[in-house]
């Protein structure tokens, strides 16, 4: 038995080679050339419209709100409390603490806020460009005092959750 071979003329081989090369170029362009690297979390706070402040190796800054199956980032705890009315469901807030990687978990269940015992808040900012540094949560008075001293924050007052919510409601 003989083999059945397809025979191509030189012009057909040239066209086939050209099509193969074009296909590879298109594939490479689609795979590598059109991919634009995304920049991590470059977004604005949904409340104050100021750029979100990213975590650093020394300090967490991202305030994350979880509602249902969704998560949204805010610039500071003030912005979360001020914007809470737009959410009808229960909320879980991961507020950065003084310890990297260990957020303070705040909850709103059936419209009532709760925080772990001993949680205190700082809320001294005058303009939202400073809110990420001056509206934060802490696990203790000692942690609060250490942060205030290290960041030279004048007129700082440690607020309980109830006091923080009242202060947000005033503005």
Query: CATH: 3.30.450.410, 3.40.50.150, 3.40.630.30, 3.40.50.720. Which one for 63-170?
Result: 3.30.450.410
Determine how many CB atoms are found less than 10 A away from the CB of residue 138.
24
Is the confidence at residue 39, as pLDDT, over 80? no
What are the pLDDT digits (tens) for 86-137? 999 999 999 999 998 999 999 999 999 999 999 999 999 888 888 888 899 9
Predicted confidence band at 40 (pLDDT cuts at 50, 70, 90)? low
Q: Hey, which residues does 93 pair with through a beta bridge?
A: 65, 106
DSSP type of residue 50: P
Range with the poorest average pLDDT among 9-18, 26-35, 126-135, 143-152: 26-35
β-pairing, 120-123 vs 112-114, is unpaired
- CA distances (Å), origin 49, targets 43, 45, 123: 9, 5, 18
Domain ranges of the chain: 63-170
Indicate the pairing of strand 70-74 with strand 120-123: unpaired
């Amino acid at each position: 038995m003989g083999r059945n071979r397809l025979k191509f003329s030189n012009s057909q081989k040239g066209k086939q080679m050209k099509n193969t090369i074009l296909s590879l170029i298109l594939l490479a362009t689609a795979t590598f050339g059109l991919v634009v690297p995304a920049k991590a979390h470059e977004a604005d706070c949904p409340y104050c419209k100021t750029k979100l402040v990213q975590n650093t190796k020394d300090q967490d800054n991202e305030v994350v709100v979880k509602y249902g199956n969704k998560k949204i980032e805010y610039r500071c705890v003030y912005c979360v409390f001020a914007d809470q009315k737009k959410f009808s469901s229960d909320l879980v807030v991961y507020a950065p603490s003084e310890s990297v990687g260990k957020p303070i978990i705040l909850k709103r269940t059936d419209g009532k806020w709760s925080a772990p015992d001993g949680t205190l808040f700082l809320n001294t900012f005058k303009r939202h460009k400073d809110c990420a540094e001056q509206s934060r949560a802490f696990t203790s008075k000692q942690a609060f005092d250490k942060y205030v001293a290290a960041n030279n924050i004048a007129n700082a007052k440690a607020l309980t959750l109830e006091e923080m919510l009242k202060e947000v409601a005033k503005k």
